[in-house]
Structure 1
């Protein structure tokens, strides 16, 4: 029977982890037992005592655990960067979001905007609409959700979905409009590390 490595990962890297899991098992003989959720949710679960061998979180989230002695500092490695973007259901009009003014108009014109308040992208978006002065208008019609926000496009709950581009791409039958103007955001960095309590060693192929 293969050895098992328990992995808790942010949703943003779910697609990449699932694609690499089989290669990792073939190369190392170790099966990944992976679970995916927003970083904030994973941090809460870890604080409540859930155990794992390897974590993939936002850099800020992982650094928090390193500072508390819960993640081995030398194991920390940056895996990916991602920007927050907007998606629509496939075949629907794609609004102009290329400038701050255009983005503001698109958000105000939407019947509803789907976003998550517990993920890194949702926390950023809540702050962004506050800075743009449209938080009350957007939130009055917003679809607040967990998991992949673009799924709410498919069932008709929202016209626009906001999330990391890597997460939007994992939902079929939606189209990426593009990133929120880069001048309004900084990329999220996703970082992996081994928990200090783990007696297992994550071999390099999983992180390559």
Structure 2
């Protein structure tokens, strides 16, 4: 039954996509999106699909969901950077809503993301299915790469202390600053093992993912979206949110290491351009 439902959803999604491609011929307009760097591979694939069905042109600004770096999303919003839609980790987005930078009534959870561990292709593949296996892998590694973003902060401030190995890992932990990914450090030999969100690890070739972290020490991040408070194209931003909740987008979310939170058979109307667009 589930298999039939998946086929039906795919057929409807493809049919909807084809109809929308033919809908509307108004000139393209820019839709500005501030998004977590972790979503870049996903948007590079599905962004053109949305542009095809909507007639809009997506303009992205990438950054971390947290932090004070010049390109971090909270800093961009605080500085008044032009934005119609914000897509980032839910906890960080909640903070932006509280600060008046995004509209609470438009908030939607899109997907979950798990943390994983990876090594360079061809390197030994230790078992990290258990906490003891993960501990042994981290302690044995000559160097451990983590991101400067939320996953790295969690690893250094929570995961390593919880496992009782913070002191042993301190000298050999390599922090990778965004927009570079942990996988790049594995590629070029700067680190032996790397920890980051699965979606970001999957975005890098030449590395192999050992698996997600054990459930007991896993951090599940919720990816959410909301219309920016000063959005000039709020209705179109909401249309992009609906697109990201569609079966068409769900297939790509799965492919890039995310687990869609809500996927429903989409009708034609959610993505259609308004007559005065």
Is TM more than 0.5 here?
Answer: yes
DSSP 3-state at the match of 2:185: helix
Distance 1:159 1:137 in 2: 15
Distance 2:80 2:229 in 1: 14
Q: Are 1:11 and 2:37 an aligned pair? A: yes
DSSP 3-state at the match of 1:8: strand
Distance 2:169 2:82 in 1: 38
DSSP 3-state at the match of 1:39: coil
1:106 to 124, 137, 162: 137
TM-score using structure 2 length:
0.71
Aligned residue in 1 for 2:64: 38
Native 8 Å contact 2:29 2:57 kept in 1: yes
Native 8 Å contact 1:27 1:205 kept in 2: no
Q: Could you report, residue by residue, the CA deviation over 1:69-107 in whole angstroms, capped at 9, with x for unpaired residues?
A: 221112111111011000111111111211111111110
**For structure 2, which runs of at least 5 residues remain unmatched after alignment?**
1-26, 67-71, 247-277
What does 1:89-128 align with in structure 2 at a 5 Å threshold?
Answer: 89-117=120-148, 119-126=149-156, 127-128=158-159
Native 8 Å contact 1:21 1:206 kept in 2: no
DSSP 3-state at the match of 1:56: strand
Aligned residue in 1 for 2:22: none
Native 8 Å contact 2:77 2:101 kept in 1: no
Distance 1:171 1:87 in 2: 10
Larger Rg: 2
TM-score using structure 1 length:
0.94
Q: Are 1:205 and 2:243 an aligned pair? A: yes
Distance 1:138 1:112 in 2: 8
Aligned length in residues = 207
**For structure 1, which runs of at least 5 residues remain unmatched after alignment?**
none
CA-based RMSD of the aligned residues comes to 1.4
Query: What displacement does 1:206 show?
Result: 4.8
DSSP 3-state at the match of 1:46: helix
- Larger strand proportion of the pair: 1
Native 8 Å contact 1:149 1:163 kept in 2: yes
What does 1:136-155 align with in structure 2 at a 5 Å threshold?
Answer: 136-146=167-177, 147-155=180-188
